[in-house]
Amino acid sequence: MKTPDQGKLKTVEYCTPPDRNLRAPAVQMGALSCDCHAHICGPESSFAYSDDRIYTPPDALLPDYLKQLEILGIERSVFVQPSIYGADNTVLLGAMQQMNTAGIACRGIAVLQDRVTDTDLEDLHQAGVRGLRFNLVDVADTSSNASLQQILPLCKRIARLGWHSEFLLHTDDYPDFEACFEAFPTDIVLGHTGYLRLGQTGDNPGFKGMLQLAAAGKCWVKLTAPYRISASGELPFAEAGEFARAVVEAAPERAVWGSDWPHVNISTPMPNDADLCDLFLDWVPDAQTRRQILVENPAILYDF
């Protein structure tokens, strides 16, 4: 595995690239379906990565992603700001603009600092941003992360725009999850089905609190990245399936799905995206519920 040019970038090992073997899933995702969690990375030669990153992705560019969408039968997308760019949303906004120019419906989830102006927020809204991401775990120095109390002022500011707050956190860190978030000023969205640490189960108090908030209509859950939450480390990622089914049973109206393309910073074998679509088919065998999760829920959450 190669390493970056030390004169250009902090030395952080390159991730495995996504599987370039494009093949169709057993059932295409369908008209107006939405991939609610994907990242565009690079080109590295033009957009420098943050020195604080914990991984270095190979280029994962829009043309490759568009080919993936076509073969999977997905018609809408949500790009999420990856941690490698910190609060510099240049690549995110550029990819969104290209998508919208091409007539492909696209939204974005940005990362911002407290000093962002109201004018900046309005401009981002016009560009298609509909939420902010707060990564509380997958960072180089978790001790430097803002607390929920520190995040609140910015979240209150975005509430007037109808935006939500997306958290990358481990729900097992929050045994009082429901109490922590039930009065939050925006809707909250949880990545990776609550991102339970390996070895946790659906009986975890934090996970159960997330389900309760979702059932009460106060949070949304992304059914993404089964390889990040399954101790087995290989298909069919059994634990992830159990967590996903629990979400769908508790609150199908608050679940969305995402590919997590290009699957950065994983230690398991690189999955093929068609297999991930087939897993979703297994988790949600009912066609109407699949449509709710792939089409109807994203239209509400991301204002399509």
Strand-pairing partners, residue 105, are: 76
Strand-pairing partners, residue 80, are: 109
Strand-pairing partners, residue 110, are: 132
Tokens of 205: 């108090």
260 included as an active-site residue: yes
Helix (H) or strand (E) holding 214: helix 205-215
N residues, the chain: 304
Amino acid in position 168 = L
Which residues neighbour 281 within 8 Å (Cβ) at sequence distance 6 or greater?
Answer: 25, 26, 27, 290
Which residues neighbour 185 within 8 Å (Cβ) at sequence distance 6 or greater?
Answer: 152, 155, 156, 159
Candidate list 260, 273, 278, 303, residue with the active-site label:
260
Q: How far apart are CA 37 and CA 39, in angstroms?
A: 7
Extended beta strands in 19-81, E state: 34-38, 76-80
Amino acid in position 217 = G
As annotated, the active-site residues are: 260
